[in-house]
Amino acid sequence: MPSVSREEMETKLKSVITEAAESNTLDKIDWKTLPLPQVMIQNERNRVLASPNVSAWSAVPSQKHGSTPDALSKKRKSAEYNGDANGCPPWRQTNNHNTFEDRITYSPTDKRQRVDHKNSSKFKANLELRRKRFEDTRYGSSPSSRDDSPAPANQGPVVGRCQNLEKNYFRLTSAPNPDTVRPLSVLVKTLDLLKKKWKKDNNYGYICDQFKSLRQDLTVQHIRNEFTVSVYEIHARIALEKGDLGEYNQCQTQLRALYAQQLGGHPTEFKAYRILYFIHTRNWTAMNDALADLTPADKRDLAVKHALDVRSALALGNYHRFFQLYLDTPNMGAYLMDMFVDRERLSALAAICKAYKPDVKIRFITEELGFESDEQSARFILDNTSEDLLQEKDGAVRLLTGGRAGQLFEAAKADAHRIVDIKGQI
Partner 1 sequence: MTSVFEDFEQGQRIGSGPRLAAALTPVAPAEYPERLQSFYRSSNAARLSPDLRYSLFQANGLKLPKQEQNAWIDIFSLYWTAIGEITRFSDAPSSASWVKVFNAWKDLVNMIIRGYTNFGLQAWTLPCLYVVGKYLRIFAMKADTELASQDSGFGDSFQDDITSEFEKSAKLEEAARIINRMFTLCLSDRAPIEESRKWGVYNTTNLLFKTYFKLNSVGLSKNLLRALNASSADLPDLEAFPKSDIVTFKYYIGVIHFLDENYAEAEQHLAYAWNMCHRNARKNRELILTYLIPCHLVTTHTLPSKTLLAPFPRLEHLYRPLSNCIMKGDLNGFDNAMSAGEEEFVKRRIYLPLERGRDIALRNLFRKVFIAGGFDEPKDGQPPVRRTRVPIAEFAAALRIGTHADDRSRVDIDEVECLLSNLIYKGLMKGYIARERGMVVLSKNNTAFPGTGV
> Contact positions toward partner 1, by CB under 8 A?
111-112, 115-116, 119, 121, 125, 155, 157-158, 171-176, 212, 215-216, 219-220, 222, 224, 228, 250, 253-254, 256-258, 261, 284-285, 287-289, 291-292, 312, 315-321, 350-352, 354-357, 360, 364, 367-368
Question: Got the DSSP string for 224-266?
Answer: -SHHHHHHHHHHHHHHHHTT-HHHHHHHHHHHHHHHTTT--S-
d(CA 151, CA 85): 23
d(CA 391, CA 77): 63
Q: Which is nearer to partner 1, 31 or 123 (CB)?
A: 123
Q: Which is nearer to partner 1, 330 or 424 (CB)?
A: 424
Please list, in sequence order, all residues whose beta carbon lies within 8 angstroms of the beta carbon of residue 106, skipping any fewer than 6 positions away: 112, 113
Q: How far is the CB of 167 from partner 1 (least distance, A)?
A: 13
Q: Which is nearer to partner 1, 89 or 406 (CB)?
A: 406
Q: How far is the CB of 89 from partner 1 (least distance, A)?
A: 28
- Give the full edge-to-edge strand order of the sheet including 359-361: 359-361, 396-400, 390-393
Q: How far is the CB of 287 from partner 1 (least distance, A)?
A: 7
Please list, in sequence order, all residues whose beta carbon lies within 8 angstroms of the beta carbon of residue 192, skipping any fewer than 6 positions away: none
- CA-based diameter of the chain, in Å? 111
Q: Which is nearer to partner 1, 42 or 250 (CB)?
A: 250
Buried b (16+ CB within 10 A) or exposed e, 181-206: bbbeebbeebbeebeeebeeeeebee
316 Cα distance to chain centroid: 36
Residues 399, 405 contacting (CB under 8 angstroms): yes
Q: Which is nearer to partner 1, 88 or 263 (CB)?
A: 263
Instruction: Using CB atoms within 10 Å of the CB of residue 260, give its burial: 0 to 12 exposed, 13 to 18 middle, 19+ buried.
Output: exposed
**Rg for the chain (alpha carbons), in Å?**
32
Q: Which is nearer to partner 1, 91 or 259 (CB)?
A: 259
Q: Which is nearer to partner 1, 188 or 360 (CB)?
A: 360
d(CA 259, CA 204): 26
